[in-house]
Amino acid sequence: MLFLMSMNTIHHNTCPICGQQNLKTKYNLQDYTVSKEFYDILECESCGFMFTQDPPDAKSIGPYYKSDAYVSHSDTQEGLFFKIYHKVREHMLKQKRKAIIENSSGHRTLKLLDIGTGRGYFLNHMQEQGFLCTGIEQDPEVRKIASEEFNLKILAPEQLYQFEENKFDVITLWHVLEHVHDLKGYLEKIKSILKSDGLLVIALPNPDSTDAKIYREHWAGWDLPIHLWHFKPQNIESLLSQYQFNMVDKRRLPFDPFYVSILGSQQRGDKLPMISGGFKGLRSYISCLSDIDKTTSLIYFFKKE
């Protein structure tokens, strides 16, 4: 696939979170999975937030998702890595549901909106457990597959802005917010359509994690250029506070240290990346047991102030 440098890109002169101009280039990193292009990651010296400079805009970024390594849009069972991934996913669906119920008000039937539904496994699981489910997915092909396979209501992203206020009890974004171009527009709309006692759930990779420091420029969590924003724990809390959300819980995604470390070892060209990455993932997992903010990926639970 040919990638053209003339495509429209997004250039930042100020920090998207705090608005300051104290920006420095932290890394120059490669897109390992699709284009092999290089991108700068800038860091705000005022608040520490990191973001991708000059990524493709929303109309141009589609081809960068066309990779078999993008597992949320793939159903392949080929190879040990993907077999393990799908087994882990089945376990984590139950853990996600449990955490949502524990952090939700009451035990009534809940209306749930999942933004970035992918192939629909999470939403299907929640629907089977009695939740009233709606999904948002940008890829029309994936949207069609999820709708037909699981009989789910999956909408295009632009339909997010058509929901009435106070519609949903729970809104989830599983590794999605880092992809969103219209960051402020999404958060404003999410605030509007979430009920006053509703729950907002956001899962994000953590560039302050132990494995991010181990792999540095080869850390799979950068995932350029489709990851536009690189949230440390303090960044996401600061950003959500601007929209009158308080964090009420924070949990680990326990298998991500292994998954991300194996990908990092592959990108770094390690011999036997499953073994090398597995050991480094174990090191990362152990280190985060005493400090949750060093975890590879975190689930944040927010409620309105």
Q: Do the Cβ atoms of 152 and 135 come closer than 8 Å?
A: yes
Q: What is the pLDDT of residue 1?
A: 44
Q: Identify the residue with better confidence: 78 or 152.
A: 152
Q: Which residues contact 208 (CB under 8 A, 6 or more apart)?
A: 232, 233, 293, 294
CA 228 to chain CA mean position, Å: 10
Number of H helices, E strands in the chain: 8, 11
List the single range of 65-74, 214-223, 237-246 with lowest mean pLDDT.
Answer: 65-74
The Cβ of residue 180 has, within 10 Å, a number of other Cβ atoms equal to: 19
**pLDDT at residue 73 tops 50:** no
Kindly list the structural domains of the chain, giving each domain's residue range(s) and its CATH number in brackets, ordered by start. Answer: 23-304 (3.40.50.150)
Q: How far apart (Å, rounded) are the C-alpha atoms in residues 285 and 299?
A: 15
What radius of gyration, in Å, describes the C-alpha atoms of the chain? 19
**pLDDT at residue 5 tops 90:** no
Average pLDDT, the chain: 91
Stated pTM of the model: 0.92
Amino acid in position 253: L
For 45-167, where are the E strands, in sequence order?
50-52, 111-115, 132-136, 154-155
What is the tens place of the pLDDT at every residue in 75-117?
555 555 556 666 777 888 999 999 999 998 766 679 999 999 9
Q: How far apart (Å, rounded) are the C-alpha atoms in residues 29 and 52?
A: 10
Average pLDDT over residues 249-268: 94
**pLDDT at residue 2 tops 80:** no
Structure tokens at 128: 């089977």
Phi/psi for 239 (5° steps) reads -65, -50
Q: Identify the residue with better confidence: 83 or 238.
A: 238
